[in-house]
A and B are shown apart, each in its own frame.
Chain A
Amino acid sequence: MNNATTLQGTHALKTDSRTGKYLTFFLSGEEYGVEILKVQEIIGRMPITPVPLTSKYIRGVINLRGKIHPIMDIKIKFGMEETELTDESCIIVISTASMMMGVLVDKVSEVVNIRSEDIEDTPSFGADVNMDYLLGVGKTGGRVRLLLDIEKVITASDIIDMKKAASV
């Protein structure tokens, strides 16, 4: 009995913190969302300089008004195809307390307000799909949007490809 109440308590808390405005975008036809407060800006695609000896999902670095920012291809990170650069491709610049990272997306969609009651926990898909990066699934206006825990996505410790650096 006691156990059940605590569980419910934490659940409510978790849902509450997920309420807010999300910027949504498309990756291979799937719609994703990131908290708008973590987004610094959206820029069109620009020349990316590849950086050797880094993981494949680091596409390289760009010059954004004199500062250098790394660019991540999260489709590769999520085990999808490499992002193809088109006219609709965009870079969403994510800013967290510790770092700045550009995230490459196929197309930016819209900014939506998602309330906690519209957010469901992610169902489990087994070991095949990594659900660590998802905050939950938002359902508004009949569309399903996968809400990303973007900070977790970009603060990966495996950016530098040690295997590549040590043996080619």
Chain B
Amino acid sequence: MNLNHLAIALIELDPANPSGLEEFKKTLTQSKKKAKGHLKDILNEACSVVDALFEQTPEQRQDGIARLGILLERAMDNNPVDASEEKTKKLPENQPDMPPSPEESLKFTLSTDFDSDLLNEFIIENMEWANMAESAILDWEQNPDNQEFLNTIFRGFHTIKGTSAFLNLDCVKNIAHQVESMLAKVRDGEDVFTISYANLSLKSLDVIKSILGEMKSSGPGRQIELPVGYGELLECLRSFSSETKETLTQKSNIATGKISKEPVAEQKIQEMPEAQEAEESDESEELQDIQESQEKIVIKDNQPMSDRPLSSIKSADRIVESTVRVKVDRLDKLLDTVGELVIAQTMVGQDELITSGKNHELNKKISQAGKIVRELHDLSMVLRMMPLKNTFQKMTRLTRDLAQKSGKHVTCITEGEDIEIDRNMVDMVADPLVHLIRNAVDHGIETPEERHRMGKPENGHIRLTAAHAESSIMLTVWDDGRGMSRQTIVSKAIERGLIDSADRMTDEDVWQMIFLPGFSTAKNVTEISGRGVGMDVVRKAVEALRGRIEVQTVEGQGCTFIMKMPLTMAITDGMIVKVGSQKYILPTANIHKAVRPVKSDIHTVNQRAEMLSFRDEMVAVVRLHRLFDIPDAQTELTAGLLVVIGEGQQRCALFVDDLLSQTQVVTKLLGNGINNVPGIAGGAIMGDGTVGLILDASSIVNIARQQVNVSN
């Protein structure tokens, strides 16, 4: 342990969460033992600051941590070894600017040499690289021996460095450069992979991403604020990577010497004088390709020569898959227009002139055109789709960070990250997932000691899977933690006055209660979760996606949350229901069952309310014609149809005249001013060109309930 490690540990200290303090103190004490003279005094002082931290409030801790930072800096200045390193580090090419001191407000002015289009492209591109590197780091953490992951991380940082140097973005370039040199040590076998490397690299990516995000909202010539902790991070990276800078360069030179394919280019990459970087970045693409193929060769070094060209071709193939960036609004416009085309085509097809069957030739032409239109429509639907990969990657990262924070060992396994969902849904899906993962790590997975006691492997698992199920997507979050206890939930519900007794509740009903607003069984509120908002938010979010959520749990063995939602929000699968002269679209996802009731199924309450017995359960009947005030509708329950909709307590039987047919419609807003009509989720253009209204099942149940309350 040296001072650099201490500095990293310090950055990771969270003022709101004292759990990391113990670890930090241990490290500090160890360093203190080895220290001599003045250094020892400084570290002693640091120790007393740490001791005080345990008792303090988060605000006070923030000050304390800042004080520790100053002490450590002083310690580093004092440390003779570090000081000499400082000198090696200060090679002219490596030090284009001084690290900003903490007191200085960290600002960076964007160069005016580039227009905003170029800047935007840069941001998007580098965001992608950063994401790629992040996922590679997480994978690498699982198998540190896999060189390919390391190479991907390298490529990511290298490209970020190259392009940001081209744009004179020193703030990004410096970080990327330092991380690159730091990782070079691992690649060249000088150092083994440790958690500190991963932490530092991830932290750097976070900073780079937040700088990029900041840039997005400003423009050329504007000033952007650098994220908190930027200076510290850079300093930390510098000392980390400069430790053995010289040997590093030597070693890498030796390594490259082995491959004599293009030693000059390789050399250039390895040493990369900063001064030439702008120039270099012009050809960085090219160089990178060379480096890439060479890296491939390094791995397969033991293979015969003849294999080499093949492997480099293979790596080229992987990169060639090209994409075109299209502005979102243009894409949306295209999709809208195609949607209209489909409707127009249907209307033509249903025209009397066509359906009369007199114009055989015309019919043929129209049906041919119809085929093409449908194909176009299918294609346009695919354009909307995006893989879940990025979302899943975020979750893996989240699991890792949360587990570290709470001192647990958790591995996150993802499956089905290639499954694609509607672009608009990707972000909406992330919200409930974040809550579920938080819950799983914080409440679900036990501490290593506890797991050991229970005879489980110390390492907890969270599995995040996506799969297709009919025309919808199924997301599952599974953990092998402590699961939920029926007893705890029931007693909490009784305590809160939600129920009197749970004797007659099925397990499923009990689990559903955790989705009630403000319901939390967590004994103490931690930083991560426990305030009782989580599950309520999860259900709301899933419902907003027109989906459903289910829980399965076995106490002591874990918990599974299953979310089922449509693949796209743009298209609603629905049944057309008829009420009097009106027709509505009821989303299929909401429908449990439709029954044509017989008299014995219906029971009345006070001659006013009606109930349907459905699978041994009593379900309240909601008459849609009464709710929507439709005069010419069927009023005799036995002559119509009861459609059971909603979940758990919200379940009800909706009375309609009939179900007409199944349909797929494109959901549209009703227009400003009447967008939030209760009971209506939106509108859709029907085959005949009129507007059909899509029913909002959960809102209908709510209105029905309110009305009962009012009339009581």
Contacts and interface: CB of A to CB of B under 8 A. Distances in A.
Contact of A47 (B340, B629, B630, B690): B690
Contact of B673 (A66, A70, A166, A168): A70
Interface in B665-712: 668-674, 676-680, 683, 685, 689-693, 703, 706-707, 710-711
Contacts of A63: 685, 689-691
B629 A155 contact: no
Interface stretch (A17-25, A54-62, A131-139): A54-62
A52 B679 contact: yes
Q: Which of A60, A98, A167, A168 has the most CB of B within 10 A?
A: A168
B679 to A, nearest CB: 6
A167 B707 contact: yes
Could you say which interface size class chain B belongs to?
20 to 34
Given A66-B685, A100-B672, A167 B711 contact: yes
B663 to A, nearest CB: 15
Interface string A137-162: 00000000000000000110001100
B691 A52 contact: no
B21 to A, nearest CB: 53
Given A53-B679, A166-B706, A68 B691 contact: yes
A47 B686 CA distance: 12
A14 interface: no
Contact of B691 (A49, A159, A167): A49
A70 B678 CA distance: 16
Nearest to A58: B674
B530 to A, nearest CB: 36
Could you say which interface size class chain A belongs to?
20 to 34
Contacts of B676: 160
Nearest to B679: A53
B339 A99 contact: no
B692 A70 contact: no
A51 B680 contact: yes
A165 interface: yes
- Chain A binding surface, main DSSP class: mixed
Contacts, number: 96
Given A51-B680, A54-B677, A63-B689, A98 B628 contact: no
B697 to A, nearest CB: 15
Nearest to B706: A166
Nearest to A69: B671
B336 interface: yes
A155 B707 contact: no
A101 interface: yes
Nearest to A165: B678
A155 B674 CA distance: 11
B74 interface: no
B630 A52 contact: yes
- Chain B binding surface, main DSSP class: mixed
Q: Which of B339, B582, B628, B692 has the most CB of A within 10 A?
A: B628
B343 A66 contact: yes
Contacts of B693: 49, 51-52, 61
A96 B706 CA distance: 35
A155 B671 CA distance: 12
Q: Which of A65, A101, A159, A165 has the most CB of B within 10 A?
A: A165
Contacts of A98: 672
Interface string B287-317: 0000000000000000000000000000000
Nearest to B627: A168
A61 B629 CA distance: 17
A54 B674 contact: yes
B671 A100 contact: yes
A168 B670 contact: no
Nearest to B674: A70
Contacts of B673: 70, 99, 101, 154-155, 159
B707 A49 contact: no
Contacts of A67: 668, 671
A155 B630 CA distance: 27
A99 B706 CA distance: 30
Contacts of A47: 689-690
A155 B685 CA distance: 25
Q: Which of B626, B692, B693 has the most CB of A within 10 A?
A: B693
Interface of B: 336, 339-340, 343, 582, 626-630, 668-674, 676-680, 683, 685, 689-693, 703, 706-707, 710-711
14 contacts: A50-B582, A52-B677, A61-B670, A61-B693, A62-B691, A68-B683, A70-B670, A99-B673, A159-B674, A165-B678, A166-B706, A167-B706, A168-B626, A168-B627
Given A66-B336, A68-B670, A68-B691, 19 more contacts: A49-B691, A51-B670, A52-B677, A52-B679, A53-B680, A61-B670, A61-B693, A66-B339, A68-B671, A68-B683, A70-B670, A99-B673, A101-B671, A159-B673, A159-B674, A167-B707, A167-B710, A168-B626, A168-B627
